[in-house]
């Protein structure tokens, strides 16, 4: 009777193994040789090619510099800026970056242009004199 019981256990183990392999294969866990899974199209159906989504504009559109009057906008703003004030920083309040027509653009206001023109006239050898001039802009 032990021999019949062993044969039944072996038969049950083989059946269980077969069911596990069959379920893994049907779930796609086991692929065909070469790693490619064959696709099946109904007769007469036109296969649809896979498409890659179009690249999207980065959601980031900010100044690419921290200080000064040389302004530009883009997707790579500085990660950290120093607290050192530079000539023209006051004018930056009148400019900003904007996303329009799928591009990141610098937008300047008339106040920015007036401030920039004024600051660019400030000159001299003494930095205190230059910053004093900028304050009046």
> Residue 58: helix, strand or coil by DSSP?
coil
Distance between CA atoms of residues 14 and 8, nearest Å: 10
Instruction: Kindly state the tokens that stand for 61.
Output: 């559109």
User: How many CB atoms lie under 10 A from the CB of residue 71?
Assistant: 19
Residue appearing with tokens 């007769």: 43
Pair of tokens at residue 100? 């329009």
Q: Looking at residue 36, what is its pLDDT?
A: 52
The pLDDT-based confidence of 54 (bands split at 50, 70, 90) is low
- The 8-class DSSP code of residue 44 comes to T
Torsion of CA 75, 78, 83, 85, to 10 degrees: -60
Mean pLDDT of 16-30: 52
Coil, strand or helix at 91: helix
Please indicate, yes or no, whether the overall pTM of this predicted structure exceeds 0.75: no
Give tens-digit pLDDT for 89-133. 999 999 999 998 889 999 999 999 999 999 999 987 888 899 999
């Amino acid at each position: 009777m032990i021999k019949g019981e062993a044969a039944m256990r072996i038969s049950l183990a083989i059946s269980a193994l077969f069911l596990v392999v069959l379920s893994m294969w049907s779930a796609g866990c086991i692929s065909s040789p070469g790693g490619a899974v064959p696709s099946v199209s109904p007769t007469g159906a036109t296969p649809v090619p896979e498409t890659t989504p179009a690249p999207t504009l980065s959601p980031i559109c900010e100044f690419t510099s921290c200080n000064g009057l040389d302004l530009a906008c883009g997707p790579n703003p500085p990660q950290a800026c120093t607290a050192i004030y530079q000539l023209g920083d006051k004018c930056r309040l009148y400019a900003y970056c904007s996303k329009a027509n799928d591009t990141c653009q610098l937008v300047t206001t008339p106040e920015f242009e007036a401030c920039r023109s004024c600051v660019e006239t400030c000159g001299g050898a003494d930095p205190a004199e230059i910053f004093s001039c900028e304050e009046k802009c």
